Amino acid sequence: MQNTAKSVTIIDVAKRAGVSKSTVSLLLTKSEKVGYKSRQKILKAIDELGYVYNRDAAAMRSKRSNLIGIIINDLTNPLMAELATSLEKTLNESGLQAMIVSTNNNLELQTSAVKNLKEYNAAAFIICPVANTCAKWLDTQSAKHNVITLMREVPFSAAPCVLPDYKKASHVATMHVLAQGVSNIAFIGCELTMSESLALQSGFNTACSQHSITPLTAIACSHNQALSAKNTFLNTYKQNPQLNAVVCANDIIAQGVIAAIHSLNLPANQTIKVVSCHHLPNYSVMPCSLSTVVINTDEIAKRSFLVVQELLQNTTPPVKTLVNVNLQIRDSSQ
């Protein structure tokens, strides 16, 4: 008597396909470790036997759902909003369910979000950590759950992280303007002690060193706002009127710097080149078209999924995954 769908088990499928039970399990959980021939045999066996994979029951057995918690530090940031969308799309295409939560750059909300998602038996957590996230807290979470961080590295944490190559971003941006013969250059950013800002400063300083240029000491804006950047640049320029190039941490800072330069009404033969290290999609800048480094959120999402997949398969992913960036040259640095 032929088995019905309800009575067919994973063992029946394995016997029919001539493979091990673990190989069938890998295929059912969408692992890429199953070879093409074995995959075809298993799929044929499933079709012949009418096997139906009960994901809810599997989740109960493993005490894990197919839910992935995505904890974003700031959804008002257009890049982070785009990244959240890319992550959701990538996970959904892989049969996983994304739940997106915003923490509004608040440590307490971040802790609460992780705690609440645990109640749903989330299979993994993708966290874009807020400033001052404690490495000990993060490692405590990753010791018991599948956790990765995005966009910001938490110093001294062992949790795997995926982030843009910030050092390369500032390095290529700085090399671009230095190649045009500028000699008085500065880096302007906000929260200069954060890991991503330190990486940007490192790339900037390395490029200056390669050109035997001694830049101004890194300049800090009080807030990541265009107005704050404008006022900061004007104060800097008063003390350093010879300044002829500025490398900005992101498009927001760059907008403020460009506005400040326009307000100076400099003569036509005196230009100050401006370049941003971090493009923010759909963020409008001043009339001058901005040279900026573009971060591909789709690529970050794909790389993040690969890391999550390794964790779900109980393999060890790299501690740090750097995603490539690309400089788009426009009028502001010409």
* 176 falls within a domain: yes
Domain of 28 in residue numbering reads as 10-53
The answer to whether residues 91 and 191 belong to one domain is no
* 88 falls within a domain: yes
The answer to whether residues 80 and 47 belong to one domain is no
- Cα pseudo-dihedral 245, 248, 253, 258, rounded to 10: 20
pLDDT for position 288: 64
The answer to whether residues 265 and 309 belong to one domain is no
pLDDT for position 114: 94
Helix, strand and coil in the chain, % to nearest 5: 45, 15, 40
151 burial via Cβ count (<10 Å: 0-12, 13-18, 19+): buried
Q: Are 255 and 227 in contact (CB under 8 A)?
A: no
pLDDT for position 2: 46
Q: Are 98 and 122 in contact (CB under 8 A)?
A: no
Provide the number of structural domains found in the chain.
3
The answer to whether residues 261 and 239 belong to one domain is yes
DSSP state of 331: G
Q: What angle do CA 104, 105, 109 make, to 5 degrees?
A: 70
The answer to whether residues 170 and 292 belong to one domain is yes
pLDDT for position 149: 98
What the block records as the tokens of 183 is 């000699």
pLDDT for position 262: 93
Task: Spell out the residues 6+ positions from residue 106 whose beta carbon is closer than 8 angstroms to its own.
Answer: 130
Amino acid identity, position 55: R
* 1 falls within a domain: no
pLDDT for position 90: 94
Query: Domain holding 155: CATH number?
Result: 3.40.50.2300
Place of tokens 């075809």: 40
Q: How many residues does the chain have?
A: 334
**pTM of the entire structure?**
0.80
* 331 falls within a domain: no
Return averaged pLDDT per consecutive 10 residues of the chain, 334 residues in all: 59 91 79 84 88 59 75 92 95 91 95 90 94 95 95 96 98 97 96 95 98 96 95 96 96 95 91 95 68 95 95 92 96 90
